[in-house]
């Protein structure tokens, strides 16, 4: 073995990872996490040629890691396979751009009205499908040129550095602003992190160089705030999972940065994780107004589940009078960030989401809620039920909050 990571030796072939895989559920041609992760890793490490095309069909949902009773880093092994898998032509170009939502976001949000008009045009969507391998079935999310404003410190408030992530920053800054206000209402002064991608899209598209670049720049920036006592707050569960991730192997060349990465991940909180801690300690601001009755269908994103924080939004929103919220337990939504935008994967993505769509429609909610931007897109696309971030529901409940 030419690799010192021996976790794959813990694999006893129980196939529990396969039972958790959303792709395998709908697409039996897919080899599944056991074969693509620990099994094929042995070939990859020895340089033995193997058929690697199926690694491209992994969602990166991390459900296999959560399912494995023996602690095998299944999805990390598959991601290594993705990074080694040769791509060419249009697919390579497409994946290059999909791995860089921050660059795309900067470009499109600076010319938002033009960019949005062009992205909506049917001929352009046909062109993007034929030449860019991006499905014409979906609408691209609209870009916004609004910036998320920080909140000025009060005396005695705790410091928070809000990491909005590319989707909230460029496509949903109104959600970002709500997050800042919620933190402010609960005693935090809030700064906004610089526009660097968390690296999750790069990981999903097999772009290790881009991932390493994101991780290095983020750690170098955020460790300063962490060392001054700030908490890092995310409201996108994929960003949160990326920032909490164990990237010491990527930072092996920079031991100080690797050590800083541990401090950053230790100080990173999902917004709801932080608020529920306040709630448990009896310190949550609960000046809620007369209830606006809402029946909400909640979807738990895979990258929230893989953070191991329970279901904090259910607990928070159940404390708000007038809110009825139920989790629709139907596994993955199938979108997986950029996955559902790819021509060859659109059908699989929608098949995976089918159980969730049916569950939500059967529940007949006023709104669907989920904290992941890409799950929101998928649920709206699959059910036509308006889907919002749970932070928007919580903010609406405060006296100062405005209705959605």
Partner 1 sequence: MNANGCDVLVIGEGLSGLTAAASAASHGAHVTLVSKGAGNFALGSGCVDLEDVDQRTLGLEEIDESEAVNFFLDLTASAQCAYSGGIGERTVVPTILGTFQRTSLAPRTLWQADPRNYKQVVVAGIADLPGFDPNFLAERLSFHAGQLALDTLYRSAMVALPHSPRHPLTALEIATHIDRDSAFRTAVVHALRPVIEHADLLILPGILGVKSDDADLVCFEEEVGCAICELATLPPAVPSLRLLNRLELHLAQMGVEIFTGFPVGKLRTEGEQCVAVELETPGRPRRLRADCVVLACGRFAPFLEPPPADFTGSTSSLSNVFACGSLLGQFAPRQRNAISILTGYRAGMLASRQGVQYAGR
Distance CA 365, CA 28 (A): 33
- Identify which of residues 23 and 128 has a Cβ nearer to partner 1 in the complex: 23
**Binding map of partner 1 across residues 223-262, x = CB under 8 A, - = no contact:** ------------------x-xxxx----------------
Q: In angstroms, give the least distance from the CB of 107 to partner 1.
A: 32
Q: In angstroms, give the least distance from the CB of 12 to partner 1.
A: 9
Distance CA 334, CA 273 (A): 24
Distance CA 37, CA 43 (A): 11
- Name the residue with tokens 């160089």: 209
Distance CA 352, CA 217 (A): 35
Q: Evaluate whether 301 touches 327 at the Cβ level (below 8 Å).
A: no
Considering only CA atoms, which of 166, 174, 112 is closest in space to residue 148?
174
Which listed residue (9, 13, 120, 147) binds partner 1 by CB under 8 A? Answer: 13
DSSP code of residue 134: B
Distances from the Cα of 369 to the Cα of 299, 338, 385, angstroms: 6, 20, 10
Is 133 near partner 1 (CB under 8 A)? Answer: no
# binding residues, partner 1 (CB under 8 A):
40
Please give the helix or strand (H or E) that residue 260 lies within, else none: helix 255-266
Single out the segment in contact with partner 1 by CB under 8 A; choices: 9-17, 171-179, 253-261, 363-371: 9-17
Q: In angstroms, give the least distance from the CB of 268 to partner 1.
A: 5
- Name the residue with tokens 């609209």: 142
Is 121 near partner 1 (CB under 8 A)? Answer: no
Distance CA 316, CA 155 (A): 26
Q: In angstroms, give the least distance from the CB of 161 to partner 1.
A: 15
Count of CB atoms situated within 10 Å of the CB of 209: 10
Q: In angstroms, give the least distance from the CB of 275 to partner 1.
A: 12
Show the DSSP H helices in 99-199 as ranges. 101-110, 112-120, 122-132, 165-166, 173-185
Distance CA 37, CA 239 (A): 23
What's the angle, vertex CA 281, arms to CA 275 and CA 283, rounded to 5? 65
- Identify which of residues 247 and 341 has a Cβ nearer to partner 1 in the complex: 247
Is 281 near partner 1 (CB under 8 A)? Answer: yes
Q: In angstroms, give the least distance from the CB of 30 to partner 1.
A: 9
Which listed residue (113, 194, 255, 266) binds partner 1 by CB under 8 A? Answer: 266
Which listed residue (23, 68, 185, 332) binds partner 1 by CB under 8 A? Answer: 68
Q: In angstroms, give the least distance from the CB of 157 to partner 1.
A: 21
Which listed residue (135, 177, 268, 349) binds partner 1 by CB under 8 A? Answer: 268
Q: Is 114 helix (H, G, I), strand (E, B) or coil?
A: helix
Distance CA 38, CA 185 (A): 47
According to CB under 8 A, which residues from 294 to 313 bind partner 1? 305-310
Is 70 near partner 1 (CB under 8 A)? Answer: yes
Q: In angstroms, give the least distance from the CB of 248 to partner 1.
A: 13
**Binding map of partner 1 across residues 176-215, x = CB under 8 A, - = no contact:** ----------------------------------------
Tell me which residues touch partner 1 (CB under 8 A): 13-16, 18-19, 24-26, 28-29, 65-71, 241, 243-246, 265-266, 268-269, 273, 276-277, 280-281, 305-310, 354-355
């Amino acid at each position: 073995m030419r690799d010192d990571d021996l976790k794959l030796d813990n694999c006893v072939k129980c196939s529990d990872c396969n039972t958790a895989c959303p792709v395998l559920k709908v697409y039996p041609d897919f080899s599944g996490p056991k074969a693509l992760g620990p099994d094929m890793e042995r070939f990859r490490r020895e340089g033995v040629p193997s058929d690697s095309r199926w690694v491209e069909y992994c969602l990166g949902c991390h459900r296999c890691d959560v399912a494995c009773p023996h602690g095998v880093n299944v999805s990390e092994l598959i991601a290594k396979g993705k990074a080694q898998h040769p791509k060419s032509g249009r697919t390579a170009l497409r994946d290059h751009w999909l791995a860089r939502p921050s660059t795309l976001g900067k470009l499109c949000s600076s010319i938002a009205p033009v960019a949005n008009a062009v992205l909506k045009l049917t001929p352009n969507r046909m062109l993007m499908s034929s030449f860019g391998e991006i499905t014409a079935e979906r609408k691209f999310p609209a870009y916004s040129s609004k910036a998320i404003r920080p909140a000025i410190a009060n005396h005695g408030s705790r410091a928070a550095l809000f990491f909005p992530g590319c989707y909230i920053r460029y496509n949903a800054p109104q959600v970002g602003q709500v997050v800042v206000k919620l933190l402010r209402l609960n005693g935090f002064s809030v700064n906004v992190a610089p526009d660097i991608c968390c690296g999750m899209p790069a990981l999903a598209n097999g772009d290790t160089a881009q991932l390493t670049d994101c991780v290095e720049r983020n750690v170098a920036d955020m460790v300063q705030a962490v060392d001054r006592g700030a908490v890092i707050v995310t409201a996108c569960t994929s960003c949160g999972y990326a920032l909490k991730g164990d990237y010491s192997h990527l930072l092996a060349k920079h031991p100080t940065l690797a050590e800083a990465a541990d401090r950053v991940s230790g100080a990173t909180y999902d917004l709801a994780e932080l608020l529920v801690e306040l709630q448990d300690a009896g310190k949550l601001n609960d000046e809620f107004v007369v209830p606006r009755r809402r029946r909400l269908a909640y979807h738990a994103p895979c990258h929230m589940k893989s953070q191991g924080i329970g279901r904090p939004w259910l607990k928070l929103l159940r404390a708000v009078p007038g809110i009825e919220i139920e989790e629709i337990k139907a596994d993955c939504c199938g979108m997986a960030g950029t996955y559902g935008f790819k021509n060859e994967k659109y059908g699989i993505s929608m098949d995976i989401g089918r159980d969730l769509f049916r569950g939500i429609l059967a529940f007949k909610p006023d709104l669907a809620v989920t904290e992941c931007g890409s799950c929101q897109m998928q649920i709206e696309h699959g059910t036509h039920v308006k889907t919002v971030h749970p932070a928007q529901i919580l903010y609406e409940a405060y006296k100062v909050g405005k209705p959605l």
